[in-house]
Chain A
Amino acid sequence: MAQISFKLNGVAKTVTVDSPETPLLWVLRDQLGLTGTKYGCGIEVCGACTVLINGEPEKSCDASIGEVAGKSVMTIEALKTDPLGARLQAAWLEHQVPQCGFCQSGMLMAAFGRLKAGESRASTASSLSNICQCGTFQRMKEAILGLPGVA
């Protein structure tokens, strides 16, 4: 058993886990009930589990809860609290991006993290490596490229 404290979506959080090795993904989903972050591959390939850790997009299947101690984690559930995040969500709806939707939390968090850090829309849109088996890439690109007020 280990106790880990970190900041989750702006709120201080302490969790008790069997092992500090437990991936953040499964602490979020199974223990904290934040199921917006998805499991897709478990090996840092698909991007469905993407969250922000200290502002950086990270694959939460590969970040152990131990590593997260003292850091700040943002998940899809809090995206709307950031003005850019809310605009990104609105653009996603405007362009009707999701199909099944399963990859979309990761897609949005990856795009948000990059745009928030100042990466250009064009670079973000063309280089997201998230997998989407429904094939929503074209609309994802259009939604990002059409985002107002971003470089």
Chain B
Amino acid sequence: MSAKRTTDTMVLDRRSFLGGAAAAVLMPVTLGFAAGRADAAAAVGAYIRIDASNTVTLITGQTEMGQGIGSGLAQIMAEELMLDWAQVRFEHAPVNPALYGLPGWGLQLTGGSTSTMMWYAPLRSASAIAAWRLRAAAALTFGGLVEQWTLVAGGNVKHASYGVKTFASVLGKVASTPVPGSAPFAGTKRIVGQRVRRIDLAAKVDGSAKFGMDVMLPGMVFASVVHCPALTGTVKSCPTRASGALAVVNLGNAVGVVASNTWNAMRIASTLQSKITWTLPANPALLDSGSLASAAQALQAAATPANLKVFETAGSPDGKTGTIDATYIAPFLAHACMEVMNATVSVTKTNGAVTLVELWLPTQGQSFVPGTVRSVPGLANLADAQIKVNSMLCGGGFGRKIEQDYVLQAVKLALTVGKPVKLTWSRPQDFKNDKYRPYASMRVRLGGDANGIGGLVYRNVSASISFQQGANPEDTGAVAGAVKLPYAIANRRIEFAPLPTAIPLGYWRSVGESYNTFAIESAIDELALALNQDPIDYRLRMLGADPRASRVLQTLKASPRYTGMAAAKRGAAFLKGFNSYVALALEIAPDNGSRIRVTKAHYVIDCGLVINPDAVEAQMQGGLAHGLYSALYNRVTFANGVPQVQNFSNYRVLTARDMPQVTVDIIEGDPTTTMPGGVGETGVPCVAPALANAYHRLSGTRVRELPFYPGATMSED
């Protein structure tokens, strides 16, 4: 499907942009304000809306999916407009990548922990300019000069003669104000850096928050789907009706069932499975985890595997790597968002021709939705204005909701039935038709002495997202977490060999770091132990050139949270990634005989400028949980293309019982020089290596293949 190909190709570029994210935000960006009066007025209205009651709403292209981004960005706006937090709101923007896309990328998507990183400077400038224009509008409305009007906290402006006026009272003149290239910052730190309460949470404790799955439209019908049991299989033939169903629709990659309620649709869809014939995938070996593991092993053993790409090379590492030669394995994983894939679509026809497609979506990938709609036969010529996307709250995303598969199905269903349709996948369909986190085999050869690593040869063999899509031999996604390491390693070679597979792949929270950090931080621990070195001191000796990295590890080592953990049960790991620095120490204990549980977890994070410390802590707590259940319990295996996962019952995740106390030390960056780093993904990568390192202390056994307890079920305790 060519439209899909195009969108995926755009998605994968985000990794190559990540390295440039810091540079992009350091440049003053004025968001098209220089484009002239008409554009500028629209731009003020596009990001910031002030209503008659003096409520100020940030309109953002970034999707709120739990990470608190709506509130965090609204804090940046509120700071420069000197608002009271109670008068601040946020809402999701319509699709308009030129206006709402990540500055510098022009892509309206949420991922890679880029939202705050990339929006901080432009949004701050835009807000300061808006503040200046409100002062100028006050001068036009009441008299005086812009310089005589000052901002007053609470959404007001003040003049010595005219007194205090609300923003709302000057709105009529905003469009008549000039647009400065820049404007002074309020710089009061009333709101940025404060633990303000998230705007979206009140609606999340009383059931009123609207997720994609909660959309209700007049005359709506309800749908569900059944896909081929084997991944990538397609419909050869299917019934055209079923008892109790309003419609049965061949969607190409699945059969859709439309019914009077979602339960009926799901139930009928699952009973249809036996009546559908499928065109099965041609090469099941490419869809079989056992075959793939053997293929990965062969690629590790080969001197020069096909399509080998060397990402970094320095000095002459061969011959200096004798101490450790270990291969680490990370499995395919599911996203398992709490909210399954769903989409609601309404198609309007005028004189038999489609004139509007309106969608209500939980989506992280707004940029790609218009292309998805236009890929449907008959809709290719719709104009942008004829495709209206309402971005709903996401009940988790973790990278899955960038994808367009569920959106495409819902558009086809709505077009076919001629009524608004809400498509909701069943949980088993969601697990079995994910875009899985790639499997990765990572061989690490490492040697050195007490002063540091003498040589590192690293080979990642993985089912690469970008390689599978064929547009790019490989961006840095597959080796992120193994390249640009903060440690001084004079002799090194970092290689990547793609593992051919047909299993659909997708970005998963913390992307390449989710597996490479496991291998690197485990191997360094192994080397330190082999050399009788303290693992933290050993890392510090290689971090002399990176003061922020050093400070994070030194802070961890000095923390009573760290020294209070029993050394014989403790493990640590470190990550420099997403423009942040994170150290994690865990303490573990035996649990239920053969298993372990984490009893304590302590993070030290330097994520640069902090917008909301409470949100940073929440993301570390969430990252710990996500990393922990994944490392302990989860993998998805495939038997000739059939995913061996069904539901949460055999894909064990965390419950309250298994959640340790997580503590967080935040190192505040200098607000005059540091920019915000990423937070949403940075809590995850250190969990697996810290766990493996702690487990080695406890048991003497080194776990190099994740998960610790494959096959764990939800009910066993």
**Can you list, as one digit per residue, whether each of B526-554 has a CB less than 8 Å from chain A (1) or not (0)?**
00000000000000000000000000000
Q: Are B648 and A41 in contact (CB under 8 A)?
A: yes
Residues of A35-93 whose CB lies within 8 A of B: 35-43, 45-46, 48, 75-77, 79-80, 89, 92-93
CA distance A30 to B200 in the complex (A): 24
From B206, B209, B649, B653, give the contact of A133 (CB < 8 A): B653
Interface string of B611-629 (1 = CB under 8 A from A): 0001000100111111000
What residues of A have a CB within 8 angstroms of the CB of B396 in the complex? 100, 102, 133-134
A99-B618 contact, Cβ under 8 Å, with A131-B655, A135-B626: yes
Chain B residues within 8 Å of A34, by CB: 207
B residues within 8 A CB of A115?
Answer: none
With A and B bound together, what is the CA distance between A60 and B264 in angstroms? 15
Stretch of B102-110, B278-286, B312-320, B331-339 that contacts chain A: B331-339
Of B68, B201, B210, B649, the residue contacting A43 (CB under 8 A) is B649
Pairwise interchain contact A127-B648, C-beta atoms closer than 8 A? no
Q: How far is the CB of B241 from chain A (nearest CB, A)?
A: 16
CA distance A100 to B338 in the complex (A): 9
Q: Tell me if B656 and A103 are in contact (CB < 8 A).
A: no
Assembled-state Cα–Cα distance A137/B659 (Å): 6
Q: How far is the CB of A2 from chain B (nearest CB, A)?
A: 13
| A104 and B204 in contact, given A43-B649, A130-B655 (Cβ under 8 angstroms) | yes
Would you list which residues of chain A between 1 and 40 have a CB under 8 Å from chain B? 18, 22-23, 25-27, 29-31, 33-40
Q: Are B66 and A138 in contact (CB under 8 A)?
A: no
Name the contact of A129 in the complex, choosing from B244, B397, B655 (C-beta under 8 A). Answer: B655
B82: Cβ under 8 A from any A Cβ: no
Option from B204, B263, B624 in Cβ contact (under 8 Å) with A101 = B204
A76, B208: Cα distance in complex, Å: 9
Cα–Cα, bound, A40→B211 (Å): 13
Task: Determine whether A120 belongs to the interface, using a CB cutoff of 8 Å to chain B.
Answer: no
Is B213 part of the contact surface with A, judged by Cβ < 8 Å? yes
Q: Mark A120-143, 1 if CB is under 8 A from B, else 0.
A: 000001111111111111111100
- For residue A113, CB closer than 8 A to chain B, the reply is no
Instruction: Give the interface centre of A23, A75, A77, A134 by most chain B CB atoms within 10 Å.
Output: A134
Instruction: Check if A76 sits within 8 Å of B655, measured CB to CB.
Output: no
- Shortest beta-carbon distance from B265 to chain A in Å: 10
Kindly state the separation between the CA atoms of A75 and B337 in the bound complex, as whole angstroms.
Answer: 23
Chain A residues near B244 (CB-CB < 8 A): 18
CB distance from A125 to the nearest CB of B (A): 7
- Contact across chains for A37 and B207 when beta carbons are under 8 A apart: yes
Tell me whether B206 and A79 are in contact (CB under 8 A). Answer: yes
B379 contacts the other chain (CB 8 A): no
Give every chain A residue within 8 A of B622 (Cβ-Cβ).
Answer: 99, 134-136
Give the residues from 204 to 227 in chain B that come closer than 8 angstroms, CB to CB, to chain A. 204-211, 213-214, 216, 222
The number of chain A residues touching the other chain, given as a range, is 35 or more
A39-B340, A43-B647 known; A92-B623 Cβ under 8 A = no
Known: A36-B206, A40-B427, A134-B396. A139 touches B198 (CB 8 A): no
Q: Which residues of chain A are within 8 angstroms of B340 by Cβ–Cβ distance? A: 39-40
Give B586-642 interface residues, CB cut-off 8 Å to A.
614, 618, 621-626
Q: Knowing A45-B647, A75-B207, A93-B197 touch, does A127 contact B657 (C-beta < 8 A)?
A: yes
Given A30-B222, A93-B202, A96-B198 in contact, is the A135-B338 Cβ separation under 8 Å?
no
* A75–B236 CA distance with the chains assembled, in angstroms: 44
Task: Say if the beta carbon of B260 comes within 8 Å of chain A.
Answer: yes
Contact of B662 with A by CB under 8 A = yes
* Residues of chain A with a CB closer than 8 A to B621's CB: 135-136, 138-139
Q: A101-B201, A128-B655, A133-B396 are in contact. Are A48 and B662 (CB under 8 A)?
A: no
Tell which of A36, A45, A97 has the most Cβ of chain B within 10 Å. A45
Q: Say if the beta carbon of B404 comes within 8 Å of chain A.
A: no
**From residue 29 to 61 of chain B, which have CB atoms closer than 8 A to chain A?**
none
Residue of A48, A104, A129, A131 touching B205 (CB-CB under 8 A): A104
Which chain A positions have C-beta within 8 A of B426?
42
- Residues on A with beta carbons closer than 8 Å to the beta carbon of B339: 38, 40, 100, 102
Query: How far apart are the CA atoms of A125 and B65 in the complex, in Å?
Result: 25
CA distance A137 to B621 in the complex (A): 9
Q: B337: shortest Cβ distance to chain A, in Å?
A: 6
A39 touches B424 (CB 8 A): yes
Are A33 and B216 in touch, CB under 8 angstroms? yes
B394 contacts the other chain (CB 8 A) = yes
B263 and A131: CB pair below 8 A?
Answer: no
Is B122 at the interface (CB under 8 A from chain A)? no
Task: Take A46-B648, A102-B339 as given contacts and tell me if A92 and B205 are in contact as well, using a CB distance cutoff of 8 Å.
Answer: yes
Cβ-defined contact, A137 with B207, below 8 A: no
Q: Which of B206, B427, B649 has the most A CB atoms < 10 Å from its CB?
A: B206
Complex contact B648–A77 (CB within 8 A)? no
Known A93-B202, A100-B396, A133-B337: A39·B213 in contact at CB below 8 Å: yes
Contact of B213 among A38, A41, A136 (CB under 8 A): A38
Chain B residues with CB under 8 Å of A137's CB are 625, 654-656, 659
B674 part of interface (Cβ distance < 8 Å): no
B175-213 to A contact mask, C-beta < 8 Å, 1/0: 000000000000000000000011011111111111101
Q: How far is the CA of A79 from the CA of B203 in the complex (A)?
A: 13
| A contact residues around B336 at 8 Å (CB) | 133
CB distance from A121 to the nearest CB of B (A): 13
User: Shortest distance in angstroms between B416's beta carbon and chain A's nearest beta carbon?
Assistant: 20
Inter-subunit contact B206/A77 (CB<8 Å): yes
Rounded to whole Å, the gap between the CB of B698 and the closest CB of chain A is: 23
Residues of B within 8 A of A18 (CB): 244, 260-261, 264
Q: A30-B222, A126-B656 are in contact. Are A100 and B66 (CB under 8 A)?
A: yes
B204 contacts across to A, CB distance below 8 A = 98, 101, 104
Q: Does B661 contact A (CB under 8 A)?
A: yes
**Bound form: Cα–Cα A79–B393 in Å:** 22
A105 and B206 alpha carbons, distance in the complex (Å): 7
Q: Which residues of A contact B338 (CB under 8 A)?
A: 38, 40, 46, 48, 100, 102-103, 131-134
Question: Separation in Å of the B225 CB from the closest CB of chain A?
Answer: 15
- Beta-carbon nearest neighbor of A143 in chain B: B205
- A102 vs B66: C-alpha distance when bound (angstroms): 9
Taking a contact as CB atoms under 8 Å apart, the answer to whether B206 and A135 are in contact is no
Contact status of A98 and B201, CB under 8 A, knowing A42-B266, A129-B655: yes
Which of B208, B264, B647 lies in contact with A36, CB distance below 8 A?
A: B208
> How far, in Å, is A80 (CB) from chain B's closest CB?
6
Closest to B717 in A: A129
Query: Do B207 and A76 have beta carbons less than 8 Å apart?
Result: yes
Min CB gap B294→A, angstroms: 32
Contact B211 A29 (CB under 8 A): no
User: Complex Cα distance A131/B397, Å?
Assistant: 16
Contacts of B208 in A (CB 8 A): 36, 77
Cβ contacts A to B, 25 pairs, < 8 Å: A18-B244, A22-B264, A26-B263, A33-B216, A35-B213, A39-B262, A41-B647, A41-B648, A42-B266, A79-B205, A96-B618, A98-B66, A101-B66, A101-B201, A101-B203, A102-B339, A102-B395, A103-B338, A108-B205, A134-B66, A134-B338, A134-B396, A136-B618, A137-B654, A138-B662
The 6 tightest CB contacts between A and B, nearest first, are: A36-B207, A135-B625, A102-B395, A100-B66, A101-B204, A76-B207
Interface residues of A (CB under 8 A from B): 18, 22-23, 25-27, 29-31, 33-43, 45-46, 48, 75-77, 79-80, 89, 92-93, 96-105, 108, 125-141
